[in-house]
Every structure is written in C-alpha cells, then in structure tokens.
Structure 1
Amino acid sequence: MSESNEIKKSIDDLKRKFSKKNIDLFDMIGSFGILIYTKKIFKSNKELSESLNLIFNIHLPEYIVKSRPLTLARISKIIFELNEDGTDFSNILNKTILIIKEKEKVLEEEKKEKNTPEAKKGKKNENEKLESWLKGL
C-alpha cells in the first residue's frame, strides 16, 4: 500500500472514530493517541501543538511540545478532567474533525504539487547528468 493510501486510510479511520455520537473516555483518549503519534498527519510537533491548542483552547509548554508522549499524557489528563466535570465532548470532537479535514486537504494539495513536473527543480544528480549526456549522443 502506498504512503498516500496509508495516510488517507488513517485520516478516514480517525474521522470515523471522532464522528461517533456516544464516544466514551477510553475511545477518545485512544483516538487522540493515534492522532498524536501518527507522524504522517502532523509531521512536526509544533504543527501538532498548534492544532491541539485550537481544539482544547490551551497552550502547551515548550518542553511538552518537544515530546509526543508528554503531549499525549497532557491531553489525556485534560480529557480525563473534562470527563469528571461532565463536559460534553461534542464541541471538542467537532473541532477535531474540522482540523482533520483541513489537514487532509493540505496533504492532498502537497501530493498534487509533488506530482507536477514543475515540482522537480534544483540541481541534477550525477545519474540525471549522465542520462542527459547519453541522450545527446
């Protein structure tokens, strides 16, 4: 399976998990765990942190942002505290789905840009130089 198909499948699975009407605490923490640890969706920790800030309206300290396990631990704690307060998860789930859909669009645009012939610019490596030289003969 190609990388783009794997990313598409991961995003579809996450959208389906976050779209459940009656999501329980363990499913929510597990789904955020998948979201946080999947580096194909959020390539940088900073990008992940910005998205989590939008979802939970929090600011994570820099030492937490640098580590995905610490990020998951903090988000799990926040989700657990929200559950104790009796807060409905629907607002968080809706924000999460919107961010995942936005990220999906960005990844599709990046994929299209990579596949365009104009995307291949820069210096030629030795094989390309040799190939062009041989074509000239």
Structure 2
Amino acid sequence: MAEVDDDVRAVAAKISSPWSRIEWSSFDPLQCLIEDVPHDHHAAFLHTGARAGPDSDVYLCWCDGSSTQWLEDLECCMHRPDPLGTGCTIFTGHPGRCDWQYIDPEQVAAQAQADQLIKAWGLSRLFKSPD
C-alpha cells in the first residue's frame, strides 16, 4: 500500500488523456495489484492514461524500502480483446498474478458483448449489473 506523494500527484495531474473524462483511482492509499507473494516492485492504477489505441493507464510505482515513487503510462492487458489470454503488461516476470486474473472470464465476456449491443442499438441500461 502507498500514499501518493503530493509532488507525484501534481505531476500525474499534468498528464493529458485523449478521453474527455480522466478516471482517477478511488482508493487511498493505493494498493499494489499483485497478490500477496514476495516481490519488491509495486504498481497501482492511478488514473486514465495518455494514449488510445492501445489504451494506457497511469500507474503509481514504488519499491519496498524506498520512499521514491514514479509514474508509468502503461498499456493494461485488461484493455485487450482477450485480457486473460495474454501476458500481464505491468507485472512481467513477477511471481504472482494481477487481481483481475481472478475475474470470471465468461461473465466478463458476456457483459462486454451486452454493453456493445446496448451501445450499438443506442439503448440505455435499464438494469444494473449484478456485480
């Protein structure tokens, strides 16, 4: 877990995004996205990234035993068509799995397809997802 340093947050706020709305993490402090196995490099989603196609997200990064924090604008495998079928783009070489690898892929695929149809047909959601 890490509290975002004020100077790092100020730099992060200056990173532009191709999207009209930048989504910031709602967590404070931020928690590393890798499961609880020994590792020293940590990363946590901070806000929507600066690139589209492939989409990226800005991650706060830090190492155990150091107060230094830095930002990385990374392509997130969750933005890929088959997010669970590709290697993690953030934690390459780490011994654990990203938290989203525990998501039920069939439910994620069904929800994504439903969302695409709703958008294509110009409908609004009449119901809320059960998750």
Q: TM-score range by the shorter chain?
A: under 0.3
**With structure 2 as the length reference, what TM-score do the two structures score?**
0.25
Higher share of residues assigned strand = 2
Answer with 1 or 2: which has the greater Rg: 1
Q: Which has the higher contact order (CA 8 A, sep 6+)?
A: 1
Higher share of residues assigned helix = 1
